[in-house]
A and B are shown apart, each in its own frame.
Chain A
């Protein structure tokens, strides 16, 4: 057991990276959620995308359990000092090419918590952000609209 863990640890990320610049995303995005200090409002709206009303999966989009499986990190909350390391590690664990979406006002610019001793501000203070979706919280429909528009564009 420990041997397997050590092996994985030593090998690290092996996903091929060199063509990242030219590769375009297909029509299926896998999204990994990272809560870096939200009030859980945005998180619940993201969760609502999976309910039968919005049913995100029918568009080829889905939430995955590990950053290793993800194309997109969708980050909520203004980054707390307690979570900055976890956020950075999650970003590093995500294979390139990757997109970071800052979901909600807090993730976009620190929101109401940006001046606190316990937070660093928006997600872009720690990792590069490609797309910001403002709102407190943005509704599931607004989130979905942005995702679908980006899918059309085939960004990156």
Chain B
């Protein structure tokens, strides 16, 4: 973490001396700049274009009870300095609108639409101001994350149609799919516009699984918040719980014991392993290669059973605590884990060899579902999907958490951006994960596993993050009175990556959609929350 404010901040303050005011650093590396709302687009665009920052998350907050206004926080990650620049703007409730930064910083598109739904703050000039999180049948004026939102007024939902984008001309027709799908998959609606089999346009309508997680956490204890964090998503449960705990630990300025950091890192890699190996199998399912599917699922199941042995939960729930861990994993257990993983690593290497030398598989994957680097950067795509298109960023390296800073590993990357590239990135990351776990098991120190987090000062906030199998999961928590949660914002990796899927399928054929979709392996539950 940076000790004094970087030159970058000075540069920014000189450039925008009229519009910005430095508010100090929080949690070590979050530099807050108060910006007049009119200047938001200009300053954001400067950050992205001249300082190579990227929009990491954006948070809306109803602070009327604290200071009489709404507030927006745009978190820009500056990776080469390992800092966040936070542009924050107060929005007067009398005029609940702000100039949209999306025309200049396209990756803000969903964040600003979500703020419009949840707080009733209008992003003026947004190119697509339709509803996002709340579907069209919610009554006008419903903004659940406002503190004065009243549940009782929402009993009856009038229905109305969602205005899908239209394709004109003779020949093209629509293929609607979902929200209930043919497989064991999560809910979402896909509207294909096709000419013959070729996809001209895809519109994904999501947020069917919107459960109001962020609102549920408000007013509850931190422990209840952790419980929710573990249930944002089943298959990234551990990554989400790490991100949540880290946010609290950073806000409280608590150093957690080394052993706990090691165990967390081991478990983050276990989560990556079962996800990636299952995904390799599922990509095979997308082309009907049963051998790959069966073996992928078999190895995945073996790792889930190891998770059960280690923590009592196949999805690694119930072990993380704020300040460390709830329970330790003994050295004997870790030694046994290593032996079993060595065997599975051999199994996986065999499987990967078969798949990557399988001509008919490669021919289906190469060139399919291509995502360009420009799209990745514009939309702020993260994780393996970004790394497969040449954006070689991994938050285990750029914002080290756990003990990743002490470990030696290479970040996997490809440039072709197709399904094959995403498969190869996963295969390489699986090998890295096995290796990381072996390093961690051999280096893990003895010692305490938890450093209690005391009472926090109200209205402190901090960001927590971790690199999951799908990319970085960012959690932002603001503490309220009585050590309860005032505001909890969850930005999952899938949330960043969903807008890329419609771009990747353009020009491909409908039968390849399941394959392309599986190669991104996005989660609906943590996108919809």
Contacts and interface: CB of A to CB of B under 8 A. Distances in A.
A36 B211 CA distance: 10
Interface of A: 33-48, 50-53, 63, 65-67, 77-78, 80-83, 86, 90, 112-113, 115-119, 136-137, 139
Contacts, number: 124
A137 B234 contact: yes
B227 A112 contact: yes
Contacts of B228: 112
B212 A41 contact: no
B79 interface: no
Contacts of A43: 184-186, 234
Contact of A116 (B135, B184, B216, B298): B216
Nearest to B529: A118
Contacts of A35: 180, 185-187, 209
Contacts of A78: 211
Contacts of B314: 45, 139
Contacts of B185: 35, 43
Contacts of B317: 136
Given A39-B231, A78-B211, A137-B315, A117 B144 contact: yes
Given A41-B237, A47-B184, A139-B314, A80 B208 contact: yes
Contacts of A66: 182
A82 B257 CA distance: 43
Interface in B316-330: 317
A50 to B, nearest CB: 7
Nearest to A2: B173
Contacts of B300: 51
Contacts of B215: 116-118
B231 A65 contact: no
B210 A118 contact: yes
B294 interface: yes
B41 interface: no
Nearest to B524: A40
A41 B209 CA distance: 13
B152 to A, nearest CB: 10
A40 B523 contact: yes
A122 to B, nearest CB: 13
B211 A118 contact: yes
